[in-house]
């Protein structure tokens, strides 16, 4: 019985993820660049949900502001091997560097640590019948993904991040 309930719950999560809208509004890169603060600025970014909707694509808004999840193995940065810095797609806050990234085979970009200086804040997430550690951008509060203690590197950590919640600045 427990196994059946677990399978039904997992199927529901998959269907919910699959039902996400595939229509994206036009990129608003110029507007985004104007509104992003300096990456080294620790000033909190506060916007209304209406402002975030104007700034982000539909998928970005769903993940970053509504704590959604992109489909695994679909993210633009999953297989990125270039040198550079991964930033918050909402505010430009520098979060990870390429040498922190590793392939965890989980379907989302994974990192073993964050850039120092409190760039990420954490909170306990008890949604979907699980207890996990949610990671959010400390500058704008946007949802990035989750933190697990099952990483294969020396830190033992795995920051599992939605690709859509990140931008990449090539070195």
Phi, psi of 16 (to 5 degrees): -60, -45
Burial of 11 (0-12, 13-18, 19+ CB in 10 A): exposed
User: CA 44 from chain center: how many Å?
Assistant: 18
The catalytically annotated residue of 91, 137, 140, 160 is 160
Burial of 72 (0-12, 13-18, 19+ CB in 10 A): middle
Q: Is 91 a catalytic residue?
A: no
Q: Which residues are catalytic?
A: 160
């Amino acid at each position: 019985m427990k196994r059946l309930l677990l399978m039904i719950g997992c199927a529901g999560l998959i269907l919910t993820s699959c039902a996400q809208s595939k229509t994206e509004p036009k990129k608003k890169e110029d507007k985004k660049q104007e509104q992003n603060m300096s990456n080294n600025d620790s000033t909190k970014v506060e916007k209304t949900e209406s402002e975030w909707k104007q700034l982000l694509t539909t998928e970005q808004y769903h993940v970053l502001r509504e704590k959604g999840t992109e489909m695994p193995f679909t993210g633009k940065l999953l297989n990125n091997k270039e040198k550079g810095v991964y930033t918050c797609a909402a505010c430009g806050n520098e979060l990870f560097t390429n040498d922190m990234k590793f392939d965890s085979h989980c379907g989302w970009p994974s990192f073993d640590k964050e850039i120092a200086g409190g760039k990420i804040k954490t909170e306990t997430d008890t949604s979907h019948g699980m207890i996990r550690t949610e990671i959010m951008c400390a500058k704008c509060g946007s949802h990035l993904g989750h933190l697990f203690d099952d990483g294969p590197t020396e830190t033992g950590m795995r920051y599992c991040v939605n690709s859509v919640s990140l931008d990449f600045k090539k070195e």
